[in-house]
Structure 1
Amino acid sequence: MAPPPLASREAVREERLGDVWSNELNDVFADVAPYYDRANNIAALGQFGNFLRRFMQLVDLQPKQKVLDVCAGTNAIGIALLKREPTLDVHAMDRSVAMQTVGQQRAAAQGFQIKSTIGDVHTLPFPDSHFDVVTLQFASRHLRVREVFTEILRVLKPGGHFHHSDMLRPRNPIVKNLYYTYLRGCLGITGMIVGSGPAAVKAKQYFLDALELFYTAEELSILLRELGYIEVKVDTVFHGMLGFHRATKPVPATQALPD
């Protein structure tokens, strides 16, 4: 299946995936919450921790900054950030009560406080220019990307940074075919190992379709610039299978003082 042109990508994603986003994903993540981190590590051949560390190395932090982790899941990002800088004010937002319940338990067990908000990340319940840093990892394939990235730009302070990581659609067709072949087998085997429930098993084809309709690293960079981000940079691994994007909210030009 060839992806649609960039200009119509979001409309096609909504048409083909919107029903799952609205009606099925909550059940999927309630199913996978207890074993989500273990399943990711199995599917990544034990490399999930390395991906997280690489992502964290790219995140710029200063003491006492206010940070928002969007689609925070089990709070892997928030915990990793607080391990680097314990003075951070970390907020986590996710639609899944089950995932955040696990995430809050994990944070508390390590002595960290993460402020949790349950809700739809397409409409962030925070003021304009509120956060120094916003992160988003392994969730954009399940989102209306333009809407969420626009909201993130709104809540970032001028000069603040958005750090994004996700599985991407490789540009090279040979790499892409090998990647999808691996994922088809991997999803089934991982599900058997961790004991996936009916909702997660049913969603197997959805996860493949969501990746097929997603963005390459270059396309996601273009989208970020179109939305108004500047200083967009990307680091990829495995020939574009995984990408780490960094983008900045512009600082308004200082208005000239009247004579």
Structure 2
Amino acid sequence: MTRAQLDKQPHEVASMFDDVAANYDLTNDVISLGQARLWRKAVARAVDARPGQKVLDLAAGTATSSLPFAATGAYTVPCDFSLGMLREGKKRHSWLPLTAGDATRLPFRDDVFDTVTISFGLRNVHDTDAALRELYRVTKPGGKVVICEFSRPTWTPFRTVYMEYLMRALPPVARTVSSNPDAYVYLAESIREWPDQPALAALLRKAGWEKTAWRNLTGGVVALHRGFKTQG
């Protein structure tokens, strides 16, 4: 899959994730060299869900990412536009209110959630600006957004090695554990094309989020961004 194919329509991306749903969590653990679970723990700490709060977990896939929020007693809504992912998630976590939804047209009212979060999914949204505006819309005044996404390693020698791993080693590894390795070639390309940490923070501010900041994980392989909605 080439860079020319990165400009996918939403139904194409949804279909791609439908194909990898069954082994998605396993594949992520393998290709991230075990780091994915540590990143999820960092997201849970940043979200800091509390009993009685409402949390939207966008691009939740099979809802594995939603479990730490729900475990705190927060009302957690896993949302994804891949029906294959949602079906797999429903098999595993039937008690969660898994919801089908497009990030650029969320099926929720204004000012509903205390926290909105998305992990490793914003890259795959067709219109990033529209998704950030929608997340802002459905967040309560005073609420926050937490975004976990692949980013740019801060140490130049490591960044070079990392990019080589993405393009050369990741696809063969994915072939051993994934039913659709081409999906992971696409993901590798999308990581290379994604904005760096300051650029994503700027997109957050453009969408209305304030007090934006980020924290690098694994040397910048992944970054946690946050922002707050103005109090009403």
TM-score, shorter chain, exceeding 0.5: yes
Structure 2 counterparts to residues 140-159 of structure 1, below 5 A: 140-143=122-125, 144-159=127-142
* Corresponding position: 1:118 with 2:100: yes
Question: Which residue is equivalent to 2:201?
Answer: 221
Amino acid at match of 2:56: L
Q: Distance in 1 between matches of 2:223 and 2:189?
A: 18
What SS is found at the alignment partner of 1:61? Answer: coil
Match of 2:146 among 163, 166, 181: 163
Query: How many residue pairs end up in the alignment?
Result: 229
The question of 1:131 aligning with 2:89 is answered no
Equivalent position amino acid for 1:139 in 2: G
Alpha-carbon spacing, 1:185–1:219, altered in 2? closer, same or farther (3 Å): same
Structure 2 counterpart of 1:17: 6
Contact 2:171/2:185 (CA < 8 Å) preserved in 1? no
Equivalent residues of 2:149, 2:224 under 8 A apart: yes
Matched residue, 2:41 = 53
Give the CA deviation at 1:23: 4.8
SS of the counterpart of 1:73?
coil
Per-residue CA deviations over 1:205-255 (Å, capped at 9, x if unaligned) read 422331222111121112212221112121102332100111110113xxx
Counterpart CA distance in 2 for 1:190 and 1:230 is 39
The CA deviation string for residues 58-107 of structure 1, in whole angstroms up to 9 with x for no partner, is 11322211111111101022111112x12x21112111111111212222
Q: RMSD of aligned C-alpha atoms?
A: 2.0
Letter in 2 for 1:70: L
Q: Is the 8 A contact 2:175 2:181 kept in 1?
A: no
2-structure distance, mates of 1:204, 1:103 = 20
- CA positional deviation for 1:22: 3.4
Where in structure 1 do 4 or more consecutive aligned residues deviate above 6 Å? none
TM-score (norm 1): 0.81
Partner in structure 1 of residue 80 of structure 2:
94
Counterpart-to-counterpart distance in 1, 2:68 and 2:92: 11
Matching residue's letter, 2:113: F
Unmatched 5+ residue regions in structure 2?
none
For 1:164 and 1:204, locate their aligned partners in 2 and report how far apart those are by CA, in whole Å: 21
> Is the 1:136–1:163 contact (alpha carbons within 8 Å) kept by the matching residues of 2?
yes
Preserved CA contact (<8 Å) 1:67 1:131? yes
Distance in 1 of aligned mates of 2:12 and 2:181: 12
CA distance in 2, matches of 1:241, 1:187: 14
Matched, 1:250 2:230: yes
Partner of 1:71: 59
CA distance in 1, matches of 2:174, 2:5: 24
Structure-2 separation of matches of 1:106 and 1:31: 17
Query: What percentage of aligned pairs have identical amino acids?
Result: 30
Q: Give yes or no for contact 2:55–2:114 (8 Å, CA) kept in 1.
A: yes
Considering only CA atoms, is the larger Rg found in Structure 1 or Structure 2? 1
* Aligned-partner residue type, residue 209 of structure 1: E
Distance of 1:154 and 1:97 partners within structure 2: 24
Q: Once structures 1 and 2 are overlaid, which stretch shifts more, 33-42 or 180-189?
A: 180-189
Distance in structure 1 (CA, Å) of the matches to 2:49 and 2:6: 35
What is the rounded CA distance, in whole Å, between the counterparts of 1:161 and 1:215 in structure 2? 21
- Which ranges of structure 1 fall in alignment gaps of 5 or more residues? 1-12, 253-259
Q: Quick check: 1:43 aligned with 2:31?
A: yes
Which whole-Å CA distance do the structure 1 matches of 2:87 and 2:152 have between them?
A: 31
